[in-house]
Amino acid sequence: MLKMGFSRNANSLTTLVLVLILSSTWGSAKGDRSGGFIRSEEEVKWLFEEWQVKHDKSYHDLGEKQMRFEIFKNNLQFIDEHNRPEHNHSSTVALNHFADLSNEEYRSIYLSPPMNMSELFHNFIPDLDLPTEVDQPQPQASIDWRDMGAVTQVKNQEGCASCWAFTAVATVEGINAIVTGDLISLSEQEIVDCDDLGTHCQPGYIQRAYDYIQRNMGIDTDANYPYTAQQDVCKADRNQEVTIDGYANAPRNNERALSMRVSRQPVGSAVDASGRNFQFYDGGIYRKACTTNVNHAVTIVGYDSEAGEDYWIIKNSYGDAWGEGGYMKLPRNVADRRGKCGIAMWPIYPTKRQNPKSS
């Protein structure tokens, strides 16, 4: 792939020098650049070509490619500036598969408008399993359901705005593994295709997916009903591989109670994911500014602390090239009861008491 920009007469020394330049500049996009250095236009063009190959990107014509290059260049400048050592940010940003999208395009494709959750949650189902706030014991110090066999691989919703289905499925996978001992990757595509009361590839609500799984008396596996990132015709030969009993809402605006629930199972919630820092998040504890106007569903798969700072472990649906292998560390126990980016406002989870196949 590196030969694309070289003359046929370039000698081996020149080739070696350019390869070394590309190697170092690609690393610098991940935060290794010393402050104050500005990339040349030629260097940015080389990085763009390398990025296209890495993420299998192609464009209709030279006009579109030039437009995407300008957006890429602007995003790269943002990343370089953010990662300068003197800023001492707690999180880093990096080039990922969103690098040729403006923040406005990213938000329009992947996020919903601010959700009117109160309208949908008029039938709030309380978490009767937890003690009252007064009686709650101190939550355990940390938990990570990935280490306990209750979290499948990170998945990618791609250009379909189906984060609500991915979060619902991730939490069902989690509770099923906890109850039955079997970790089974389940089908988001079935929900996208078959739930006529849902929103398919448009922004939606996690509980609508739970409602579908209950009405359908189960959900199929990802292997039998794989993801296509678009709404297709509902398959007639789907199986009811995994069932749930229902769902409930953890106490709102109460991170201590949320910690108690997450200590029992992965929990779905929603956050404000609209920031450019979120779009290009690469690692560390995400302290960047955000609102509580939630617009993106995520799964809380645990919590921990680092250097005295508490954080949630968030599983996203942007693939493993985003964040820390597809995960984010989001501050926990913050001053705002609604939680960082609104994470504590609308927590929801499926219920499952036993495995019907073994009863």
Token duo for residue 120: 């949908």
User: What is the reported pLDDT for 195?
Assistant: 84
- Average pLDDT of the residues in 190-211: 87
Say yes or no to pLDDT of 11 above 90: no
- Among 110-124, 134-148, 160-174, which stretch is predicted with the lowest mean pLDDT? 110-124
Task: Say how far apart CA 322 and CA 318 lie, in whole Å.
Answer: 6
Q: Are 353 and 179 in contact (CB under 8 A)?
A: yes
Q: Are 187 and 224 in contact (CB under 8 A)?
A: yes
Select the more confidently predicted residue: 317 or 137.
Answer: 317
Say yes or no to pLDDT of 207 above 60: yes
- pLDDT grade for 7, boundaries at 50, 70 and 90: very low
Token duo for residue 196: 């006529």
User: What is the reported pLDDT for 263?
Assistant: 96
Q: Are 193 and 161 in contact (CB under 8 A)?
A: no
User: What is the reported pLDDT for 69?
Assistant: 97
- pLDDT grade for 139, boundaries at 50, 70 and 90: confident
- pLDDT grade for 17, boundaries at 50, 70 and 90: very low
Residues 114, 200, 198, 268, Cα dihedral to 10°: -60
- pLDDT grade for 85, boundaries at 50, 70 and 90: confident
Active site residues: 163, 296, 316
User: What is the reported pLDDT for 53?
Assistant: 96
For residue 25, give the amino acid letter: T
**109-173+245-350 has which CATH code?**
3.90.70.10
The ranges assigned to domains in the chain are 109-173+245-350
**What average pLDDT is seen over the chain?**
86
The terminus-to-terminus CA distance of the chain in angstroms comes to: 57
Task: Say how far apart CA 44 and CA 58 lie, in whole Å.
Answer: 17
User: What is the reported pLDDT for 359?
Assistant: 45
Q: Could you give phi then psi for residue 297, rounded to 5 degrees?
A: -85, 140
Say yes or no to pLDDT of 70 above 90: yes
User: What is the reported pLDDT for 265?
Assistant: 97
Q: ∠ CA 352-167-316 to the nearest 5 degrees?
A: 135
Say yes or no to pLDDT of 74 above 90: yes
Contacts with 163 (C-beta within 8 Å, 6 or more apart), sequence order: 110, 157, 203, 296, 297, 298, 317
User: What is the reported pLDDT for 32?
Assistant: 42
- pLDDT grade for 349, boundaries at 50, 70 and 90: very high
Q: Name the β-bridge partners of 330.
A: 312
User: What is the reported pLDDT for 113?
Assistant: 77
Task: Say how far apart CA 47 and CA 29 lie, in whole Å.
Answer: 9
- Average pLDDT of the residues in 309-336: 97
